[in-house]
Structure 1
Amino acid sequence: MLRWILGGRENQSSVEKSPVLCIGEDQPKNWFTELQVLKGHFDIVRFLVQIDDFRCASAGDDGLILVWNIETGERLQELRGHSQQITAITTFTCNNGVTLLITASSDRSLSLWDPDTGNRVQTISDLQSSVKCLLVLERLCVWVSGGEELCVWSKDFQLQCHRQNHSDTGITALTELPKNCIAAAMDKEIVICRVTVSPDSSVSLDEIHCLSNHQDQIRALISVNDELFASGSHAGELILWDATEWTMLAYQHILWEEPQASSQHLTTNGKLILAAVGSGLYVYSVLTKAVVAYRKFLSLTYGSVRMWEIQDLPLPAEPASPGFFAIWNFGRLNKHSGPSKKAVDIPNVRTLALTGDLIGHSGAVQMFLSFKENGLVTCSTDHLLILWKNGERQSHLRSLALFQKLEENGGL
């Protein structure tokens, strides 16, 4: 059974105006029954990145990068050096297998950190503008930064090449594609560039294609698998692309009843894409090129993290309000033609049932990071991280540790 976890990112006013969906205290499918609050930040925490199986780093508006042990909740390192908020963070694996951190800040600097020691290994300052996104190309031993410029850097933090973009918004998202290519989102367009490393180790960056099928600013760009990538816009457009031919495979536009559309977030497991748009949550199948499950009215407890499970719709199907799904287009894009089609007319569409409610944050959840059986980490506007654990598993581990200690001490 496929399950999704989603954090509440709605603003306070929108939550107060709508009734809260509640499932009560009895949540048999919610295994996160134990939590630990991690303190250390003094402003909004926006980013979480996994370092290894037992460590993660957090960063946000206070300019701090904190390294945590997710088994114990211990703060291992405090990385100081940026004078303004962190705008992007990613991991970077060296040739010797050591994992480092790259951070970008509004202070127009880039830094390379060693999370083991807390030392800043490299720094680049006085950039022309702040960096909005980072992408590491492991197989080419380079990394890419996006903002007003698209820059390619070597592992020793040397600028190899760059391209100036002509968009007022700059580059807002990056994703890696096959054939040493990258996709960069700039306003309503996706620019495909190829990174070439010559035998003499020189690096070039060439723009080879431009995709202009979106009608609104692109907010999300993800690699689905080796053959596909997807993009989502502010207006709720979802486009599925061929990752090697750069052709559009499917287009879907969801029109909303709300006066203003909200930004779109995408995540994927390689076969399904979860799209959070406006007040809706949609699961899109890359195989059938159709929405297979949805939850139209997503009203979140402020600061909650919620677990959802795909379930069949009850029979007869519940009626949908007019304008729920207004346009369904697949294959080639036809922006101005075709009759509207409601979600209830689409066969085999299921719903998302709320199976768990993780209430702990007092502010909107910004991001979550799953460590599978070792737990879940969330960060929020309340300046806190929360480490969610399987209470039954943790109790079992504590019992084993106690018995081991008693055995070592020769019993009671």
Structure 2
Amino acid sequence: NIFWFLSSSVTKSPVLCIGEEQPKNWFTELQVLKGHFDIVRFLVQIDDFSISERCDAADDTVQLIAFSPGARQTGERLQELRGHSQQITAMTTFTCDDGLTSHTSLITASSDRSLSLWDPDTGNRVQTISDLQSSVKCLLVLERLCVWISGGEELCVWNKDFQLQCHKQNHSDTGITALIELPKNCLAAAMDKEIAIYRLTVSTDSSLSVAEIRCLSDHQDQIRSLINVNDGLFASGSHAGELILWDAIDWNILAYEHILWEESQACAQAEIRLAAPKPSEMSIQHLTTNGKLILAAVGSGLYVYSVLSKMVVAYRKVAHDSNVLHTMLLSDSELMSCSEDGSVRMWEIQDLPLPAEPASAGFFGMWTFSRSNKQTGAPIKKVTDVPNIRMLELTGDLIGHSGAVQMFVNFGENGLVTCSADHLLILWKNGERQSHLRSLALFEKLEESGGL
């Protein structure tokens, strides 16, 4: 099943074929789901065959769409969930296991300053909280403690019954924009240029309290991405192109890198100065990881960083025509990205150097290993020799969207789902596998009917 937010009935296009001229691109069949009248911003995976997604429509509703793993992924609408009056700002799944049963629910937050808990089986809104102090910008579930956390102008901890357990006012004008779980009942919250570390304490009477125990102020610009790398590491990326690798236990810096470019000379002509990259072109819009590699979307480029060697191992300075909005590591050598230019691309890390893009001032700077050595400015620096650098080779281009592709969710052999500013969702499928499944289904029907 697929959850997605719509403002009208769903219409489907016929299955389309994108050709076989890209031998490493197995997404040769696609199906378009229409019905939105605004940008579809993000997707949240519920289970192996389900996602939740939200759109910017003023009258946000949730619709349950069938997404079978077989040969016919029909996209039929099953239910419509209504409740919020304004745009959805955050959503997540919440699974509570009492030892006997396990049930997954959907939590949504809206600009109408409300929170809702939905039952995906019935489509009913089980709980709702209205008249919050401010809009919630992010949600985090701590399944081990069976609680969930909302972040905005304040940090709130809720139990499975939607009861407020404790809260903490933050000191940032922008509010909390990202949350991740850390070891030892801690969590990290991104607020503008800072990362606040909070600790949850469970008392003997099972009551909860939350306290801020550390503030990390090492970024020079707004934090755009915050992710867990593994049990002992997390990473953050900023608008100014800073990438910091943190110890998840003691919250010290393990590596700090600033993407630098060669600025024009003071005496240069105005047109030359205007040609220099804008700060937004060096912004880290998205980070993703598989525990061994970190993939950073930087402006319109992609940079692959090895956690083990603590160095960039591959990059493509210009991977798309516009900013990259979302990325995914398919394996240690394959990755995907989508962009404001409407494209979805598949890449392969190859051992050959990249002659068209030699390592230069546009590449990552040097790594340092302590807070005291942190760079405080952006001095001009050129990297003329980067050992063992590899290239990203384009292996597939998924053409279907006409607007900025916001993100995607990979269901492995069952396909890929993308959402876009063109109001569409597209199901990308392995054409060869789908053809095989259709053939099997046909033979089964012939066998049941005793032949033609």
Q: Indicate which of 231, 254, 258 corresponds to 2:277.
A: 258
C-alpha distance in structure 1 between counterparts of 2:364 and 2:39, whole Å: 36
C-alpha distance in structure 1 between counterparts of 2:391 and 2:63, whole Å: 38
> Aligned pair 1:281/2:287, yes or no?
no
Partner residue in 2 for 1:81: 83
Partner residue in 1 for 2:405: 365
**8 Å Cα contact 1:326-1:341 kept in structure 2:** no
5 Å-filtered alignment, 1:88-167, equals 88-95=90-97, 96-167=101-172
Deviations 1:55-104 (A, max 9, x none): 21221212222333333222333221111111111001123311110011
**8 Å Cα contact 1:221-1:229 kept in structure 2:** yes
Shift of 1:411: 1.2
Q: Please, which moves more after superposition, 178-187 or 324-333?
A: 324-333
Shift of 1:268: 0.7
Q: Indicate which of 297, 309, 323 corresponds to 2:348.
A: 309
Residue type at the aligned position of 1:87: T
C-alpha distance in structure 2 between counterparts of 1:141 and 1:135, whole Å: 11
5 Å-filtered alignment, 1:118-267, equals 118-256=123-261, 257-262=276-281, 263-264=283-284, 265-267=286-288
Residue type at the aligned position of 1:155: K
Specify whether residues 355 and 243 from structure 1 end up closer, same or farther in structure 2 by C-alpha distance, changes over 3 A only.
Answer: same
Shift of 1:199: 2.9
Query: What RMSD, in angstroms, separates the aligned Cα atoms of the two structures?
Result: 1.9
Partner residue in 1 for 2:37: 42
Q: Please, which moves more after superposition, 76-85 or 120-129?
A: 76-85
Partner residue in 1 for 2:361: 323
Deviations 1:148-196 (A, max 9, x none): 0111001100011111111111101100011111000011111111112
C-alpha distance in structure 2 between counterparts of 1:26 and 1:370, whole Å: 22
Shift of 1:25: 6.7
Shift of 1:200: 1.5
**8 Å Cα contact 2:294-2:305 kept in structure 1:** yes
Deviations 1:301-348 (A, max 9, x none): 831111111112348x54537521263222124315898654551101
> Aligned pair 1:68/2:65, yes or no?
yes
- The alignment partner of 2:280 has SS state of coil
Residue type at the aligned position of 2:62: I
Partner residue in 2 for 1:270: 291
Partner residue in 1 for 2:442: 402
Residue type at the aligned position of 1:284: Y
**Hey, which bits of structure 1, 4+ residues long, moved more than 4 A?**
336-341
Specify whether residues 118 and 343 from structure 1 end up closer, same or farther in structure 2 by C-alpha distance, changes over 3 A only.
Answer: farther
Query: TM-score, normalised to structure 2's length?
Result: 0.82
Specify whether residues 326 and 154 from structure 1 end up closer, same or farther in structure 2 by C-alpha distance, changes over 3 A only.
Answer: closer
- The alignment partner of 1:116 has SS state of coil
Deviations 1:220-246 (A, max 9, x none): 100011010000001111000001111
**8 Å Cα contact 1:222-1:231 kept in structure 2:** yes
C-alpha distance in structure 1 between counterparts of 2:110 and 2:214, whole Å: 30
**8 Å Cα contact 2:350-2:392 kept in structure 1:** yes
Unaligned runs of 5+ in 2: 1-18, 262-275, 322-338
Specify whether residues 156 and 85 from structure 1 end up closer, same or farther in structure 2 by C-alpha distance, changes over 3 A only.
Answer: same
- The alignment partner of 2:309 has SS state of coil
> Aligned pair 1:347/2:391, yes or no?
no
Give the number of aligned pairs: 388
C-alpha distance in structure 2 between counterparts of 1:397 and 1:231, whole Å: 42
**8 Å Cα contact 1:105-1:130 kept in structure 2:** yes
- The alignment partner of 1:32 has SS state of coil
**8 Å Cα contact 1:362-1:382 kept in structure 2:** yes
**8 Å Cα contact 1:221-1:231 kept in structure 2:** yes
Residue type at the aligned position of 1:327: G
Residue type at the aligned position of 2:150: S
Partner residue in 2 for 1:52: 47
Query: TM-score, normalised to structure 1's length?
Result: 0.90
C-alpha distance in structure 2 between counterparts of 1:344 and 1:74, whole Å: 55
C-alpha distance in structure 2 between counterparts of 1:399 and 1:182, whole Å: 50
- The alignment partner of 2:347 has SS state of strand
C-alpha distance in structure 1 between counterparts of 2:244 and 2:151, whole Å: 22
**8 Å Cα contact 1:304-1:359 kept in structure 2:** yes
C-alpha distance in structure 1 between counterparts of 2:230 and 2:414, whole Å: 26
Deviations 1:4-26 (A, max 9, x none): xxxxxxxxxxxxxxxxxxxx972
Percent pairwise identity? 76
**8 Å Cα contact 1:289-1:330 kept in structure 2:** no
- The alignment partner of 1:140 has SS state of coil
**8 Å Cα contact 1:274-1:281 kept in structure 2:** yes
**8 Å Cα contact 1:85-1:105 kept in structure 2:** yes
**8 Å Cα contact 2:360-2:384 kept in structure 1:** no
